[in-house]
Structure 1
Amino acid sequence: MEGITTAALIELAAVAIGAGVAGGILAGLLGVGGGIVIVPALYFALTLAGMDPELTMKVAVGTSLATIVFTSLASGLGHHRRGAIDTDLLKLWAPWILLGVVAGSLLGGYVSGNVLIAVFATVALAVSADMILRKGRADPEPKGFSRPVWALFGVFTGTISAMMGIGGGTIGVPLLNFLGYDIRRAVGTSAAIGFIIGLPGALIYAATGQGQAGLPPFSIGYVNLLAAVVIIPLTTTFSQLGVKLAHSIPRRALRLAFGAFLLLTALRMFVDLFSG
């Protein structure tokens, strides 16, 4: 990015540190891969640094997906040790989520940055309302669906997650909870899904951004290596704290915490979208 100052790079690194710590805790706590914090944090940092508004969201999303590869491995392992991952569902869902990720990443790399902001804010707002207002059942039982229905759920989750730069938890946690899965198993399974979303998503964003003018220094396409290198060690470390919290906090409190974070994020993104 032409004209970016050393101070702006330092600011980006500082924001990445804060996003890494908060994103790691949320990854383990809520199964969201940290992207729900990392994407808006990087977006606002790059905007303040003077980056082209058309590119800021794409870089934020691409970089977030790269960090989710490692965060999801760390938080997923923590939940697996506690028996909170539904491996049968993971096997059923994985191919369809991957298909959705490819579609969503290709769309994200070529559509307007404002489209990504609108998708991020709209989905986050809808999910926050569901998590805050709807009461979970005391003894949830998973609902049974045919394979085509699960395929549809998977493609939808992968597509939207890749366009938002998130690890699947923002969509997967409320969806699985709505379908009757215990919130802790929903969080654990969604944490594992993050790897399926992050790896192919980051690679596609890196490829579609090749040759794009105006990107920040140390970028491979729409993936900024400086921010990723700062964030990854922090998210992987602090995700374990989040895992411990997830298994000690009551289900209702966990739903409210998840909804509150999403609501604040959505409102701030809408303000930015309409003011721009």
Structure 2
Amino acid sequence: MGAELFAEIFTLHAVAAYIAIGLVAGFLAGLLGVGGGSVLVPALVWAFKLAGLPGQWTFRLALGTSMATILFTSVSSVRSHHLHGAVRWDVVKNFIPGILLGTLFGTFLARHVSSEFLVGFFALFMGSVSLQMISEYKPKPGRVLPGQCGQFTVATLIGTASSLVAVGGGALTVPFLAWCNVPIKKAIGTASAMGFPIAVGGTIGFVFNGWTAPGLPAGSLGFVYLPALLFTVLASVALAPFGAKAAHVLPANLLKKVFAVVLLGIAANMLRGLF
């Protein structure tokens, strides 16, 4: 029985899919500070369908597994950005309490709303962020980051939205910091550091809220699917430092355009699948 279960969980095509997803997500996590979740979620939904997982919880399993993966990719990514002096640790410190509160609340919402709502919210969220980046909106020269109370409020909103779509927060943190006149490379580096506390709160929330969900596949820890987590982490952690190095070589404007195009493509694909 154990051998049959092992063979069922670790099918060759599923393992190959998890590794490929991890490689792409890890590189993008380092390059764009997005935690890789914006790529991981739709890719994991596809991989879970390929592996024949129950459809009832597929999207939530993708959300939870993505969050757990970001625990590892964020550490690898932020280390490389820190070595380049691109992390505003003062901002990270002010954001952490709000991020933890927001992610825990967001995972509670994710357990109790419909899958269609989650998919639609994910797609619209990514699309709006990408269009804002493509528009190349220029912030007022005198705009600066708000005080501690303002940063706490923003962080709570970012944490809630990030856990609903299982991203490391970069999709909101990068545009917000850029709007406050933080240079794009420091915005990306700082966003990568936000990924870890978001992933901590999000992973705890998805494990807890999925603990009693009926019909989850073997190998699940709440809404975290451990076989996918294992292989995506191994691949993504290996590639994240290379993405971070590329972020400090490529021109800032090119980074913004790459960021926007990736998010817009994901949003369009998710909406196409929804309708």
Indicate whether the TM-score tops 0.5: yes
Q: Identity rate of aligned residues, in percent? A: 36
Q: Please, which moves more after superposition, 247-256 or 43-52?
A: 43-52
Contact 1:25-1:241 within 8 A present in 2 as well: yes
- 2:135 aligned to which of 133, 136, 144: 133
Amino acid paired to 1:238: L
Partner of 1:154: 155
In the TM superposition, what is the alpha-carbon distance from 1:54 to its structure 2 partner? 3.5
CA distance in structure 2 between the partners assigned to 1:12 and 1:59 by the alignment:
15
- 1:116 aligned to which of 112, 115, 118: 118
- 1:80 aligned to which of 82, 91, 107: 82
CA distance in structure 1 between the partners assigned to 2:142 and 2:230 by the alignment:
41
Partner of 1:12: 14
In the TM superposition, what is the alpha-carbon distance from 1:49 to its structure 2 partner? 4.0
Contact 2:10-2:227 within 8 A present in 1 as well: no
Contact 2:35-2:169 within 8 A present in 1 as well: yes
Q: Please, which moves more after superposition, 141-150 or 17-26?
A: 141-150
CA distance in structure 2 between the partners assigned to 1:156 and 1:238 by the alignment:
29
Unaligned runs of 5+ in 2: none
Mapping of residues 1-276 of structure 1, within 5 Å = 6=8, 9-135=11-137, 143-274=144-275
Deviation by residue 1:103-154 (Cα, 9 ceiling, x = unmatched): 11111122222222112111100011111121557x9776142333222211
In the TM superposition, what is the alpha-carbon distance from 1:92 to its structure 2 partner? 1.1
Q: Match of 1:85, SS? A: coil
Indicate how the Cα distance of structure 1 residues 205 and 245 shifts in structure 2: closer, same or farther if over 3 A, else same.
Answer: same
Contact 1:84-1:189 within 8 A present in 2 as well: yes
Q: Please, which moves more after superposition, 67-76 or 106-115?
A: 106-115
CA distance in structure 1 between the partners assigned to 2:19 and 2:252 by the alignment:
29
Contact 2:9-2:227 within 8 A present in 1 as well: no
Contact 1:75-1:240 within 8 A present in 2 as well: yes
CA distance in structure 2 between the partners assigned to 1:8 and 1:271 by the alignment:
29
Q: Match of 1:134, SS? A: coil
CA distance in structure 1 between the partners assigned to 2:271 and 2:64 by the alignment:
20
Amino acid paired to 2:225: N
Amino acid paired to 1:42: L
In the TM superposition, what is the alpha-carbon distance from 1:166 to its structure 2 partner? 0.7
Amino acid paired to 2:93: K
Q: Match of 1:265, SS? A: helix
Contact 2:9-2:218 within 8 A present in 1 as well: no
Amino acid paired to 1:216: P
In the TM superposition, what is the alpha-carbon distance from 1:210 to its structure 2 partner? 1.6
